[in-house]
Chain A
Amino acid sequence: MSKETILEVRNLSKNFGGVKAVSEVSFQLKRGEALGVMGPNGCGKSTLINLITGFIKPSSGQVFYQGKDITGIAPHKAVNLGIARSFQMAKPFYNIPVYKNLIIPLFSPRVRKLVGGKFGDRDEAAIHLLEDVGFERDSSIPYKAAGSLPHGYVKRLELARCLSLEPDLIILDELFSGMSMSEVASILPFLERLRDEGKTLIMVEHRLKELFRVVDKVVVLNFGKKIAEGLPEEVVQNEEVRKSYLGSEVDSSA
């Protein structure tokens, strides 16, 4: 592959007191690739995402985005460079209507520059985006306050919010958690389409079968360290990965 490297993480570490939440993690991601980050609970997956997007400042190591050092960048500046992230615990703006949650990003300099348009012009686009991520067509749900949404919809709104930022790199932190099987099944084709359209994706996920349908390669963390990296089918054969998932079956049948 001769594509440019969009994200490079170099020896990234974060200590919380004496605990090494993330320790000397390095990987590279090329434009258009989809990367999965997996590992048992508490292995530092979310911390890694927070370090990349600037929500937590790293203890050491560097993050490069499109060739630029963005280590410890302010979160809103990362967004304006084109890095959109979702939260595992999604908190939409609860007393603002769902579709308006997607219009607020217009306030950020990046979206204003790329999309332009006045307030109100984007209403239609916001509704379409909601339909893309699986909100029912012609329903009243997009006009209700976001706080009234059931959990599955909140996660879809979270995905739509990422896309409304016109990102170059999309980081999804456990998008599937708390979603039902059928909800996940309905959103998978959309994620595959994003990948096929050439969007760069990072997905942190526990549901490996679904994860492997979307991603090209995976990085496996355990106790904050990277223990494996490679194609999904290779990684699940790795002895250390199998051990780290002790007790839980690593399913490679997907």
Chain B
Amino acid sequence: MEASVLIFGLVNSATLMLVALGFSLIFGLSGVANLAHGGIYLFSGYVTWMLMNYLGVPFLLAVPLTIIIAGVLGALIYWVALKRVRGLHLSEVIATFAVGVAILELFRWMGFVTYEFTLPVFIKGSVDIAGVSIDYQRLLIIGIGLLLAFALWVFSRYTKMGLALRGMAQDEYTALSIGIDSDWAAALSMALGSAIAAIAAISILPLGIISINMGYEVLIMALAVSVVGGLESITGLVVASIILGFAKTITGTYFDPKWMEVIYLFALVLVLAIKPSGLFGKFKELEERV
């Protein structure tokens, strides 16, 4: 394998992982399939841009502010759109999808579609690894992705809050009967997941311009990784990111770049047909269905 395939495969994998983490976290912790994920992702990008360009906030301050604002938005989406339909999965999906589309199209309507919308990179410059030139931002994406995945793994297994939230996702009645407030837990997980979406956006968006359609692409990426890896499994998420990331890179390098985005959907359909609960999925019901 060429060095460039290896390196850019890793970058693509880390990108996928970052994008899918927030989505997967919300599903794993509260059972909500948050289809507003792409909307929140782009919202975060635009918020950072607006903070910097309209209010003159320095980048280093705009980043934590954006993460907090995205978290608040996530909790707000829960209280406004989800609280009433909690437990009705189809309604949850419709509600979050509507919110996501509303956010994205609101920005389109406001005219956020030109080439001026870019975010700065953390560190300028690039480095040569095995003859492949790679910029620091892409290396950072790999680092941030791994760090976040590890942090979430620890959070969901070794902290009271993480366990309580996981419990909530597994059985709401049992969780209620040990004194966990279900609305509070779900709002909190929406806030956490949205904050992570913001981290992903701030890390990845500097690689190009911010465009509305990326919101939809990001949602497809998150869905593909979650379905291939199996929901509520962080191991599955990492493995699926690597598989899809390399599949994309290999397709782009050896076949035709136009197939690069289709590969996600292809993998999604393939996994649904063969092993519907995903490679590492724990949803036994799907396996046992005849």
Contact = CB atoms under 8 A, between A and B. Distances in A.
B158 A105 contact: no
B274 interface: no
Contacts of A106: 160
B213 interface: no
B174 interface: yes
Most buried by B among A76, A103, A165: A76
A26 B170 CA distance: 35
Given A104-B167, A107-B160, A92 B174 contact: yes
Interface in B168-183: 170-171, 173-182
A75 B176 contact: yes
A143 interface: no
A114 to B, nearest CB: 11
Interface stretch (A10-18, A93-101, A190-198, A225-233): A93-101
B179 A79 contact: yes
Contact of B166 (A55, A85, A93, A161): A93
Given A80-B179, A84-B177, A104-B178, A91 B160 contact: no
A76 B179 contact: yes
B173 A108 contact: no
Contacts of A110: 179
Interface in B119-164: 158-161, 163-164
B84 interface: no
Nearest to A171: B177
A87 B173 CA distance: 9
B176 A55 contact: yes
A104 B176 contact: no
B47 to A, nearest CB: 31
Nearest to A50: B173
Contacts of B181: 74, 76
A178 interface: no
A24 B12 CA distance: 65
B108 interface: no
Nearest to A161: B178
Contacts of B174: 87, 90-93, 161
B160 A103 contact: yes
Nearest to B232: A95
Contacts of B166: 93, 95-96
B178 to A, nearest CB: 4
A67 interface: no
Contacts of A93: 163, 166-167, 170-171, 174
Interface residues of B, number: 22
A189 B171 CA distance: 30
Given A93-B174, A95-B282, A104-B167, A111 B179 contact: yes
A110 B178 CA distance: 10
A62 B171 CA distance: 28
Nearest to B174: A91
Nearest to B161: A107
A104 B173 contact: no
Most buried by A among B159, B164, B182: B164
B289 to A, nearest CB: 18
A119 B232 CA distance: 23
A119 B160 contact: yes
A38 to B, nearest CB: 22
Nearest to B171: A91
Interface string A158-199: 000100110000000000000000000000000000000000
Given A90-B174, A103-B160, 13 more contacts: A75-B177, A76-B180, A79-B177, A79-B179, A91-B171, A93-B163, A93-B170, A95-B232, A96-B167, A103-B163, A107-B161, A109-B179, A165-B179
Interface of B: 158-161, 163-164, 166-167, 170-171, 173-182, 232, 282
24 contacts: A55-B173, A55-B176, A74-B181, A76-B182, A87-B174, A87-B177, A91-B171, A91-B173, A91-B174, A92-B171, A95-B166, A95-B170, A96-B167, A96-B170, A103-B160, A105-B179, A106-B160, A107-B164, A107-B179, A108-B179, A110-B179, A119-B158, A161-B174, A165-B179
Pairs A-B, 6 closest by C-beta atoms: A108-B179, A79-B179, A107-B164, A75-B176, A91-B171, A105-B178
